[in-house]
């Protein structure tokens, strides 16, 4: 019997896309990121969470002028996911849920507890997430070439040092909307890295006078982590 041929990867590169916050997305930043994905041609794309914003069901106060309706956010989210699925049709896709996606679960707990048992199904069904995408629950992580990929749960200025100490391996996250990477050499000679890879959200928001956010993406190749900043 002839041996089944295994499909070889053209490279060992994965791209991490952070915090799109649909529909409050910077469309030019998103297209910049998609252009990079086309150029780099990774075998895998990892969405680091907060793909959605869910501003309409947030517990925080909202400016009436900027308030969005839930149906509008749902339609925008479905359109974005359809667009991304077409862009990434030949790539593996990992979708890590962030704290903004988690807003839906908390909303259901409060207003429709009978539906709360749906869990992540509420998100995947609401947004029509393709079955081929791997969805990682909020608070979870994906291991990519020995690198922990996660949405993140910390905002402190020392978050990268904290991640190095907590995980003792390389890591990459979104959540903070900041860009940064640090490296640490271990006693056995290995070098591990921790990175924050920014956001693709609009940088001017109505709930903050000034943001120190930066736009960018993360790249993992052969276990090494780097970030690319949008100029």
- Which residues touch 178 (CB under 8 Å, ≥6 apart)? 196, 198, 212, 213, 214
Sorted by where each starts, the structural domains of the chain and their CATH numbers stand as: 13-229 (3.60.21.50)
Is the pTM above the cut of 0.85? yes
- Which residues touch 114 (CB under 8 Å, ≥6 apart)? none
Low-confidence ranges of the chain (pLDDT < 50): 1, 4, 6
Long-range contacts from 122-127, C-beta under 8 angstroms, 24+ separation: 123/97, 126/74, 126/77, 127/52, 127/74, 127/77, 127/78, 127/81
- Which residues touch 143 (CB under 8 Å, ≥6 apart)? 149
Q: Sign of dihedral through CA atoms 56, 134, 108, 18? A: negative
Q: What is the pLDDT of residue 62?
A: 56
Q: What is the pLDDT of residue 1?
A: 46
pLDDT tens-digit series, residues 74-93 = 999 999 999 999 999 999 99
């Amino acid at each position: 019997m002839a041996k089944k041929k295994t499909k070889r990867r053209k490279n060992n590169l994965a791209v991490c896309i952070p915090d799109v916050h649909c529909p409050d997305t910077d469309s030019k930043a998103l297209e910049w990121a998609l252009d990079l994905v086309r150029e780099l041609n990774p075998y895998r794309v990892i969405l680091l969470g907060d793909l959605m914003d869910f501003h309409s069901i947030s517990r925080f106060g909202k400016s009436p002028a900027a308030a969005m309706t839930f149906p509008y956010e749902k339609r925008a989210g479905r359109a974005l996911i359809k667009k991304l699925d077409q862009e990434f049709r030949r790539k593996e896709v990992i979708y890590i849920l962030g704290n903004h996606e988690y807003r839906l679960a908390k909303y259901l707990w409060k207003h429709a507890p009978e539906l709360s048992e749906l869990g992540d199904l509420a998100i995947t069904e609401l947004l029509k997430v393709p079955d081929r995408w791997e969805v990682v629950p909020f608070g979870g992580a994906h291991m990519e070439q020995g690198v922990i990929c996660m949405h993140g749960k910390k905002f402190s200025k020392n978050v990268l040092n904290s991640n190095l100490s907590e995980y003792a391996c390389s890591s990459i996250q979104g959540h903070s909307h900041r860009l940064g990477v640090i490296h640490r050499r271990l006693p056995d000679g290995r070098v591990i890295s921790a990175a924050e890879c920014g956001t693709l959200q609009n940088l001017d928001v109505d709930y903050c006078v000034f943001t120190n956010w930066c736009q960018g993406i993360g790249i993992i190749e052969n276990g090494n982590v780097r970030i690319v900043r949008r100029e």
